[in-house]
Amino acid sequence: MESQTEAAVNFGKSIIVPSVQELAKKSIANIPSRYVREDQDPSIVSDELSLPTVPVIDLERLGVKDSMSSELEKLHSACKDWGFFQVTNHGVSTSLLEEFRTEIDNFFKLPYEEKKKLWQKPENQEGFGQLFVVSEEQKLDWSDMFYVTTLPLNQRRGELFDKLPPKLRNTLHAYSMEVKKLAMAILGHMAKALKMDAEEMVELFSDGVQSMRMNYYPPCPEPNKTIGFSPHSDADALTILYQLNETEGLQIRKDGRWVSVKPLPHAFVVNIGDIMESQTEAAVNFGKSIIVPSVQELAKKSIANIPSRYMREDQDPSIVSDELSLPTVPVIDLERLVVEDSMSSELEKLHSACKDWGFFQVTNHGVGTSLLEEFRTEIDNFFKLPYEEKKKLWQKPENQEGFGQLFVVSEDQKLDWSDMFYVTTLPLNQRRGELFDKLPPKLRNTLQAYSTEVKKLAMAILGHMAKALKMEAEEMVELFSDGVQSMRMNYYPPCPEPNKTIGFSPHSDADALTILYQLNETEGLQIRKDGRWVSVKPLPHAFVVNIGDIMEIVSNGIYRSIEHRATVNSTKERLSIATFYSSKLDSELGPAASLISPHNPPIFRRVPLEKYFKDFFDRKLKGKSYLDFMRIEKGEGNTY
């Protein structure tokens, strides 16, 4: 009941301004200076015959098999190239549209004294007035509008709705329902055109916010000196405009020119808003890496000595002496974390592993052996593809996804003895379609299944960590349930001089949690423990999990992100796949609020996650230097 009765969300306010409709009734010869807009392009577009016309989409053709494909392509093109289109045969009845037209016309003809009862309030923008007026000196538009939130129902402002004329209120409700159906239908077709998961579009928008703005543009004595509505893009996902009369006025900027939209009888004008652009735009680019040659192809040449660019005299020896005396990485049995008799002791073991090691292996994790074996086979086949095929999947200069290496920032930088394939897998709207579509179909399908299973595993482990940390469970869920997931498939070919190079330079991971699946029994992963390099021996079908920098930050330093590296050998290839799991893109990164107190102040600063990743990837990989940058200096203030 709380959700049904809570106060409606207030999206902003606007300074109250006079009615333009009332001003226009005075038969003035010149408009007041506050409406004069010398900053605007001329409202009259010359040589209109030479301008293109806004595309028209017939929704009926999108439901007919013979025309579906061509009309869908037309819709896709309209959304990409125009961001605007008109829709016909949309399913909203003509009788409802005519009734709504009449009621809105009557609404704006109400006496001014009646309208004043529906005027905006200083603290809220709903009602009669104008939007986006933030100062008394700001220039005004030559229009009146009535703005109202219509869906969800619990966001309607009852005190405003109750004052509407009854016939308008009833017609507005019916129109609201019909336009919601239309919006969801259009969004469904867009999902299909984008090759986007239909369920994701439904999940995003089925319970979305709907608002309406009724616009009245009175005749103006000096139309070339003012503007009806200032140039803007819409903040929503989709705007559906019904033009109530045949008077033209709507213009869109196309290729630097203003193009008029000529009203079609009973058609809707639809335009893409900022939210839809953000959902469908190219995935966030966290950085780039200089393109380098394939080490796998180099290794095929049976060379006796490695090229100088791979020689790493700065590295510790890859062979660790006296391994029998070294400790072994803890193993956590996830089944024991859900059994009452063993839960407490296994949780303490997990807590200790995260604090003292920053690494552990997990068994009984719930990911099917058959899926792991299938994924192992597909990745093995992927790295065996002919080089000409792989080149189609190589990194581009402006982005790090694809085959290549990460963190290469200069042409004279030393390189690792490995090839990798890096790809963002979640959220779905961050996947690079042009890369995914080129993957072998079986690998693509298996990758999708593996991605889903590893997300479940990551969330389960994070849940246990929250419990061990005595952190609010909901805070962990809020941070990570819609988090960013990426994968790096690693191939380390045999090397003729393994002690002179490194498979992957020492580093800590930028994410919250890394889940590594070692695809064969070849050792190579080493972690730095108490100043020594300790090898991690692969366990069959187990995952190696390590704490990343984000989790060290979120835990306020309780859990440790540990430096690790990959070594190579002279006889065996090694394959692995690392899955990186991070918090959601629009989150702010910093210590969890539930862990902070006067006795436990924050030791890390807060930054937007996107900035954190961009800064991280725009540097040469070297130890833990970026995490050190995140630490709050002595005497530095914080926002807690």
Q: What's the 3-state SS for 64-84?
A: CHHHHHHHHHHHHHHHHHHCE
Q: Which of 403-407, 528-532, 547-551, 579-583 has the lowest average pLDDT?
A: 403-407
DSSP code, position 324: G
In angstroms, how far is CA 616 from the centroid of its own chain?
18
pLDDT in tens, 13-50: 667 778 889 888 998 999 998 888 876 666 544 445 55
pLDDT score recorded for residue 469 = 97
Predicted confidence band of residue 299 (pLDDT cuts 50, 70, 90): confident
Per-residue model confidence (pLDDT) at position 585: 78
Domain range list for the chain? 34-280, 370-391+418-630
Q: What is the mean pLDDT of the chain?
A: 85
pLDDT-based confidence at 423, cuts 50/70/90? very high
Higher pLDDT: 294 or 588? It is 588
| Spatial distance between the Cα atoms of 242 and 103, rounded to a whole number of angstroms | 14
Tell me, yes or no, if the two domains 34-280 and 370-391+418-630 fold the same way: yes
**pLDDT score, position 608:** 86
Per-residue pLDDT for 519 more than 80? yes
pLDDT of 639 reads 47
**How large a percentage of the chain has pLDDT more than 70?**
86
Task: Give the Cα separation of 367 and 385 in Å (integer).
Answer: 27
Quick: pLDDT tens for 300-313. Answer: 888 888 888 778 87
Give strand ranges (E) for 133-188. 144-151
Mean pLDDT to the nearest integer, 464-492: 93
Q: State mean pLDDT over 553-570.
A: 94
Three-state secondary structure call for residue 424: strand
368 against 428, higher pLDDT: 368
* Pairing outcome for strands 564-566 and 543-547: unpaired
What average pLDDT score do residues 504-512 get? 89
> Quick one: pLDDT at residue 206?
86
The letter for the amino acid at 289 is S
Mean pLDDT of 606-623: 68
Tokens of 278: 């953000």
* Interior/surface letters 217-227, b for 16+ CB within 10 angstroms, e for the rest: bbebeeeebbb
Q: How far is CA 358 from the centre of its chain?
A: 28
Rg (C-alpha) for the chain, rounded Å, is 30
More confident residue, 256 or 77: 77
Rounded Cα distance, 619 and 626, in Å: 9
Query: Tokens in use for 239?
Result: 């705007």
With a pLDDT cut of 90, the percent of the chain lying above it is 51
Q: Which is higher by pLDDT, 257 or 501? A: 501
Task: DSSP letter for 532, please.
Answer: E
Which of 630, 331, 351 lies closest to 466, judged by CA?
351
Q: Which residues pair with 88 in a beta bridge?
A: 58
Instruction: Report the alpha-carbon distance of residue 24 to residue 423 in Å, rounded.
Output: 59
User: Looking at residue 555, what is its pLDDT?
Assistant: 96
pLDDT digits (tens, 9 = 90+) for 66-118: 999 999 999 999 998 899 999 999 999 999 999 999 999 999 999 999 999 99
Q: Which two tokens stand for residue 19?
A: 């009615």
Q: Does residue 281 carry a pLDDT above 60?
A: no
> Rounded to whole angstroms, what are the CA distances from 152 to 146, 163, 204, 211?
18, 19, 14, 9
The mean per-residue pLDDT over the stretch 468-476 comes to 93
Does the pLDDT value for residue 569 go beyond 50? yes
Classify 34-280 by CATH class: mainly beta
Q: Which class does domain 370-391+418-630 fall in?
A: mainly beta
